[in-house]
Amino acid sequence: MTYLSHAIHVARLDGALGKTAKASLLDRIGRCQASLGQYSAAETMHRQVHSLREKSLGKEHTQTLASMNEVGVALENQGRYEEAESMNRQTLARREKVLRPEHPDTLTSMSNLALVLGSQGKYQEAESMDRQTLERREKVLEPEHPDTLMSMSNLAGVLDSQGKYEEAESMDRQTLGRREKVLGPEHPDTLTSMGNLAGVLCSQGKYEEAESMSRQTLARSEKVLGPEHPDTLTSVYCLAHLLANRHRYDESLVLYKRACAAYYTVLGKGHPTTRACRQHYSKMLASQEYNRAALSSKIRDSGVSIHTGPKLSRGLATIGIRSSKLPIK
């Protein structure tokens, strides 16, 4: 963080750097911000880089295209899927023209486009593109190359979204095993695989294994990434959903409340994941309040007095939300 603050300061100094050096520094700043979950700031940086490189290097230079790619990623991470899809399609078309269909950078663009298609529910097109990307990466790179493993993870995710749980589970297990071997048990990509596997296990009702893995993922994410990193919040959200499926509502509500409050701050109130989390939390609060009211009514009818405690609907006001799909992989 100290380096990041210093780098931002240097980048803002007029005349301190030439165009090429400034673009390179801004690019590193943007990538660092993205890794910290600061997606809006990362977008701003990468747009500056793209502008500088387009003017000095041209629209189809490989470094200009790399900047376009990073803008697309930043847009996708903010839930601005239509903009991200448009940017990713442009980048892919230019890379296919300038490079070749099987160039690693072209495959990165294919992978990113498939991801944003899946985020919009365009699962068939996303699956087709993910399969093409995986096949080409296995050929061009290696089966255990991090980019190949990313394609496996993304394909498993789109299979899960279509209800193809057995195939998704098999691929998630393969990906997790390889990432643990290649990257280590606490690498962010490994933690993503753990969370994805927990999710597909939950979808199949394999709750014991899913909960164990989900708790491990959350503990490691908090340690490695911090409690408010978007990936950590995804782990919180997923565990909340899993516990709700197991009818452990009190603990689930605590986690939903934590996730909603943090998403609101970190991603913003308009992000699709923030909205989805709020919906799940609201529905659970309403359901629990209804069940409590029904129980109270039955007890009153029996002539027994009971104190039911404060209304659960107050919880909405405590997370900074005025009014008041499952977790995105």
CA-angle at 26, arms to 25 and 29, nearest 5°: 90
Place of tokens 């911090």: 226
State the pLDDT at residue 22: 84
pTM metric for this prediction: 0.81
> What's the rounded Cα separation, in Å, for the pair 134 and 169?
17
Which one-letter amino acid corresponds to residue 177? G
Judged against a pLDDT cut of 80, whether residue 309 lies above it is answered with no
How many C-beta atoms surround the C-beta of residue 185 within 10 A?
A: 14
Dump pLDDT digits (tens) for 174-219. 999 999 999 999 999 999 999 999 999 999 999 999 999 999 999 9
Dump pLDDT digits (tens) for 264-306. 999 999 999 999 999 999 988 888 775 666 656 654 555 443 3
Q: Label residues 219-248 b or e (16+ Cβ within 10 Å = b).
A: ebbeebbeebbbbbbbbbbbbbbbbbeeee
Q: How many helices (H) and strands (E) does the chain have?
A: 14, 0
State the pLDDT at residue 310: 31
Structure tokens at 229: 């990193």
> What's the rounded Cα separation, in Å, for the pair 315 and 282?
9
Q: Is 5 exposed, middle or buried (0-12, 13-18, 19+ CB in 10 A)?
A: exposed
